Amino acid sequence: MSAAEKLDERLPFWPVAMARPMALAYTGVSEAQMRAWEKTGLVHFRTRGPHGAAIVQRAELDMAVADLFSRDLSEDLDFGD
């Protein structure tokens, strides 16, 4: 884990690529949502980080979050009435 990932306070910057723990903190989504983004191809983790860590581009995370907020929420709120 990098020094930036160990910080509890908000970072003054976010790196252009980040490992999963930092990506989760950056987006504020659950692990399940991150896996869903990977499965649908919205985000792509690559093993290029320190010690073989998988990293993802911040730009992909930004697009995935934007997509999350641009979707029709009625599909998420259908409780089968």
Q: Could you tell me if residue 5 is inside a domain?
A: no
Mean pLDDT, rounded, for 17-33: 95
pLDDT digits (tens, 9 = 90+) for 44-56: 999 998 899 999 9
- Cα angle 50, 52, 55; round to 5: 75
Q: Is residue 39's pLDDT more than 70?
A: yes
Domain span at residue 52?
A: 15-69
- Whether 3 is in a domain gets the answer no
Helix H or strand E encompassing 18:
strand 17-19
The whole-number average pLDDT for the span 32-40 is 96
Answer whether residue 32 shows pLDDT above 80: yes
Give CA–CA dist 31/45, Å, rounded.
14
CA end-to-end span of the chain, whole Å? 45
Four-CA torsion 3, 13, 21, 77, nearest 10 degrees: 160
Percent of the chain with pLDDT strictly greater than 70? 74
Residue 13: predicted pLDDT: 83
Number of domain units in the chain: 1
1 found inside a domain? no
In a domain, 7, yes or no: no
- Provide the residue count of the chain: 81
Q: What is the three-class DSSP state of 17?
A: strand
